[in-house]
Amino acid sequence: MRAETRRLLLPHLLLAALVYAIVCLPKSRPNVESATALLVGLALFEGAFLAAARRARGRETGAYDIIALVWALLLAWELAAPVCNIAHPVLVPPPENVFHTFRLQWRVMLLNIGYSMGLLAAGFTTGLVLAVLLGLPCAWLPRLRRVTYPIANVMAPIPPVVISPYLVALMPSFRSASMLVIVLGVFWPTFLTTINRVGAIEPQILDAARTLEPSTPVMLFRILLPYVLPGIVSGLKVSMTTSLLMLNFAELMGATHGMGYYVQNSIAYANYAHAVAGILVIGAVVTVLSAAVTWLQGHLIRWQ
């Protein structure tokens, strides 16, 4: 218990210093918004931290160090921007203004999150399903493998964001171009992984399967698919995060909705409090998606 108390001491000392700086220290910078939204945000962070620490009681966890780092960064931000006014007056908005943006713009942010998530879900699912459905026959049939494997080996390392400006100009709408960027970003790595995993199947498994003389569809979807599925599921976190980053990049180039558009539009109008708030929202969405994929992996491939 003493060790638990010691680990809690540093984060809460930093939190106390942060709250004191926000509430008590005079502001040198003009036009600093009310600190109410910021204090509410701090309370939510603290609640999430305490819940995580309670779940991890008795185990080593990075939650204590992470929250201490968050409080230290926020304290440095508070001192540098509104209190001492030594940061850039335009590019580094006060944290009060950034969190006040959540209070004012939460409906707009939810709309843009919903737009991005709908596009991400459609593109990611399409790319993943196509990669598996096409990868299995291309991996199993020697002639198809000889043709497609070299192509996949070249295309998989190329990030679709490199050609995204061309796709935006080529496709009939920005939404279709953004979806194609996500599909390509998911398809080629998953397609290549599927071919490689089928090629790595132990010969004993294939020999046992051939003794049953299965048809090609049975071989593909009753024997090969269950074998490659755990590897595909284990790579979902990287694929999902990469897809979201590609989507946000594509949204910077001409979208009218989406999280990337929100950040780009805020920067275009020099509203950096909104831009920083949008960046924080993107980070929060990535974190939530990563946690959801981790949960899904734990339930689908328990043995790993």
Reading the block at residue 186, the tokens are 């998911």
- Is residue 215 predicted with pLDDT exceeding 60? yes
What average pLDDT does range 240-255 have in this prediction? 78
Q: Which of 239-253, 274-288, 289-303 reaches the highest mean pLDDT?
A: 274-288
Instruction: Compute the distance between CA of residue 199 and CA of residue 196 in angstroms, rounded to an integer.
Output: 5
CB 247 within 8 A of CB 273: no
> At 52, is the pLDDT very low, low, confident or very high (cuts 50, 70, 90)?
confident
SS (H, E, C) 65-103: HHHHHHHHHHHHHHHHHHHCCCCCCCCCCCHHHHHHHHH
Say what percent of the chain tops pLDDT 90. 40
CB 275 within 8 A of CB 265: no
Q: Which of 59-63, 86-90, 160-164, 208-212 reaches the highest mean pLDDT?
A: 86-90
Reading the block at residue 115, the tokens are 């737009």
The whole-chain average pLDDT of the chain stands at: 86
Reference 69, options 2, 18, 6, 4; nearest CA is 18
Lowest model confidence (mean pLDDT) among 105-109, 182-186, 238-242, 269-273: 238-242
Question: Which pLDDT value is given to residue 59?
Answer: 66
- Is residue 5 predicted with pLDDT exceeding 60? yes
- Is residue 304 predicted with pLDDT exceeding 60? no
Q: Which domains does the chain have, with CATH numbers?
A: 2-92 (no CATH), 104-300 (1.10.3720.10)
Query: Pick the residue with more confidence: 77 or 52?
Result: 77
> At 38, is the pLDDT very low, low, confident or very high (cuts 50, 70, 90)?
very high
Q: At what angle do helices 259-268 and 236-251 cross, to 10 degrees?
A: 40
Reading the block at residue 37, the tokens are 């939204």
Reference 119, options 167, 188, 171, 183; nearest CA is 183
pTM, full prediction:
0.84
- Is residue 303 predicted with pLDDT exceeding 60? no
Instruction: Compute the distance between CA of residue 191 and CA of residue 136 in angstroms, rounded to an integer.
Output: 8
> At 227, is the pLDDT very low, low, confident or very high (cuts 50, 70, 90)?
confident
What average pLDDT does range 218-243 have in this prediction? 82
Question: Which pLDDT value is given to residue 301?
Answer: 66
Torsion angle, CA of 292/298/299/304, rounded to 10 degrees? Answer: 150
What average pLDDT does range 129-144 have in this prediction? 91
Instruction: Compute the distance between CA of residue 65 and CA of residue 11 in angstroms, rounded to an integer.
Output: 8
- Is residue 108 predicted with pLDDT exceeding 90? yes
Question: Which pLDDT value is given to residue 100?
Answer: 95
CB 246 within 8 A of CB 265: no
**CB under 8 Å to 196, separation ≥6 — which residues?**
none
